Structure 1
Amino acid sequence: MAVHSSLFVTNQINKKELEFLESYPEFLYWSALIVRLQDDLGTSSEELKRGDVAKSIQCYMHENGVSEEAARRHIKNVVREAWKMLNVQRLRGGASPLSQAVSGSLLNLVRGAHCFYQHGDGHGSQNHLTKHHALSLLFDPIPLYNFTS
């Protein structure tokens, strides 16, 4: 996703940026970790019912002998810590050859994944909660109040 994103937000392909992305910098590591774990938090139960492989939650449960609730709390904590590290990497942007457009685009991909899977499977679920939230953000008017009267 990162490479595709970098290609779509700029008019020119910057070899230095692509080489940096290929080196798998910490910025990408923390981004990928957040996306993966948020997906697991939102979809693991349904995917297991369909016969999919164990996710991070089930692996943590098995390795540590804890309940699903405890495993989910742990994974959510890992996501919080990964966000902290990602923010640190973002603030250190001077050491990165990524343009603001590319790094901003990558960060928005992570934000999107966090939003999609925050309350379950916002991508494949039939409850349309995430779709409703997205549509309301984009198309529902925000009431403006006149505070001067």
Structure 2
Amino acid sequence: MDDMHDHYGTLEELIPFNDVIQRWDMEAMKQLPDYMQIFIHALADTFEEFEKDLSSEGNSYRVDYLKKAMKDLSRLYLQEAKWGAERYAPTFEEHLSVTVQSSGYPMLHCATLVGLEDINLTKEVYDWVITVPKLLHFTALHSRLMDDIADVEQDKIRQEEGQVISTVQCYVLEKGISEEEACLDLKKLMKECSKIINEELLKPSSIPIEARKPALTLKCMAEVIYRVHNSYNEPSSEMKDNISTLLVNQVPII
């Protein structure tokens, strides 16, 4: 869905696509291009499978929260696409008001809780996660900044192709400073995000720690992917090694 908005879809296609997602009307997808229909078929099948698996436990209501998270993500992707098409340069704060959530991390946290089986989570937890509370916001902000700092050069190419400018470029334009200075300032902001994340994880809360810990896991994932460069978009030998170590190579037993 991200790639459709960044690379393949035109606004004339993306606006009705977003409308289908917002209404969750899979019949209406017939008006869309074939490649979008393939995506929506896969999305609908996946969510139906979730509902089927969870219904036996009386937890199928959780899927409604994930649908809302996907609707929010689609809406924000469309806003980015509109900014890119219009060559609009948002302010730094305006940019973050969209791109923090469009990082996908709030949706991923929600998806993690939908499938969590180890503990009995109450409806309060899902009401909490769907509002993108402080913990999720700063996890997503940290990851957004880390991604954009690691991807400065590639983002310039994307901007020439009509994508919205990155947080780094927004900050450069707003402050009238160099990219190097901007990255240093944003790294300081990332450190503040880390402090807030730690505080939110450690302080007493009615939300169980098992429901909050995925934020830390997602932050660690971002550290691995973006700590040197964007190894998500440009897989390095390091990232391939990480995946092989996790999923392919046998662990020696001594």
CA distance in 2, matches of 1:116, 1:62: 27
User: Which runs of 5 or more structure 2 residues have no equivalent in the other structure?
Assistant: 1-107
Equivalent positions of 1:1-149 (< 5 A) are 1-10=108-117, 12=120, 14-50=122-158, 51=161, 52-92=163-203, 94-97=204-207, 99-136=208-245, 139=249
Larger helix share, 1 or 2? 2
CA distance in 1, matches of 2:241, 2:135: 31
What CA deviation, in whole Å up to 9, does each residue of 1:6-28 have, x standing for no partner?
11223555311001112332111
CA distance in 2, matches of 1:8, 1:71: 39
CA distance in 2, matches of 1:62, 1:96: 42
**Counterpart of 2:140 in structure 1: which amino acid?**
A
Q: SS of the counterpart of 1:9?
A: coil
Q: SS of the counterpart of 1:125?
A: coil
Q: TM-score, normalised by structure 1?
A: 0.81
Higher relative contact order, structure no. (Cα contacts within 8 Å, ≥ 6 residues apart) = 1
Q: TM-score, normalised by structure 2?
A: 0.50
Deviation at 1:88, TM superposition (A): 0.7
CA distance in 1, matches of 2:250, 2:177: 43
Structure 1 window deviating more from structure 2 (60-69 vs 43-52): it is 43-52
Identity of aligned residues (%): 23
CA distance in 1, matches of 2:141, 2:191: 11
Matched residue, 1:147: none
User: Which runs of 5 or more structure 1 residues have no equivalent in the other structure?
Assistant: 145-149
What CA deviation, in whole Å up to 9, does each residue of 1:49-69 have, x standing for no partner?
032221111011111111111
CA distance in 2, matches of 1:71, 1:3: 31
What CA deviation, in whole Å up to 9, does each residue of 1:86-137 have, x standing for no partner?
1011111x2241x332222221012101221111111110433223245457
CA distance in 1, matches of 2:145, 2:218: 14
**Counterpart of 1:5 in structure 2: which amino acid?**
T
- RMSD (Å) for aligned C-alpha atoms: 2.4
Contact 2:145 2:167 in 1 (8 A): yes
CA distance in 2, matches of 1:82, 1:20: 20
